[in-house]
Amino acid sequence: MPEIFGKPLVTQDAMRVRIRELGKQISQDYQGKDLVVIGVLKGAYVFFADLVRVIQLPIQIDFLIATGTKKVGCPPKTVKVWTELTEKIAKRHVLLVEDIVDSGLTAQYLVSQLQNHKPASIEVCTLLDKPAHREVEIQVQYVGFEVSPAYIVGYGLDYEQKYRNLPYLAKMDSEKVEAES
């Protein structure tokens, strides 16, 4: 795998430091509030696990599985949510945790769907933010790293459901991956 990705774009150490900072900020911002943290699977699972462990508050967690349907070479145009929440979020504060906010379509759709449950507030937290690719307006309150328009894998992010297990974030060289397939 290292030949495909080269050196890490974001190292484990850099992620560990930034996630601790995010956890501290979230803990301060939600002090005394009833917080439900919702992870968007599959991509956010590693980031989500590390983040909730550094939030110093009594929280509840939940998950959604969501995918963007798309044609090859095109950004997602529709979002499909495969699961339902198991926690009640009415009148509670919600933190939606994404792996990456790229076009913004998935995050915007999920926020709009969660608003139907009448929470006290909804904020978005993402490991990676690609504002240069934004197609829709979406407020991202907590950002791990802002990245350039490159295809990134590892630490939960995938290419064709592979490479989620890389312990760091790496820019994918699609030509090398295709040659190995």
Q: Could you tell me the residue ranges of all domains in the chain? A: 2-174
The Cα–Cα gap between 124 and 168 comes to 22
The Cα 85–Cα 35 span in angstroms is 14
Q: Exactly one of 50, 99, 102, 129 is catalytic; name it.
A: 102
Q: What is the DSSP letter of 20?
A: H
102 catalytic residue (yes or no) = yes
Q: What is the pLDDT of residue 1?
A: 47
| 151 — pLDDT class (breaks 50, 70, 90) | confident
Residue 155 has pLDDT above 80, yes or no: yes
Tell me how many helices (H) and strands (E) the chain has: 5, 8
Range with the poorest average pLDDT among 29-33, 116-120, 146-150, 177-181: 177-181
CA distances to 93, 154, 173 from 96, in Å: 10, 20, 30
CATH number (1.10.10.10, 3.40.50.150, 1.10.10.60, 3.40.50.2020) of 2-174 reads 3.40.50.2020
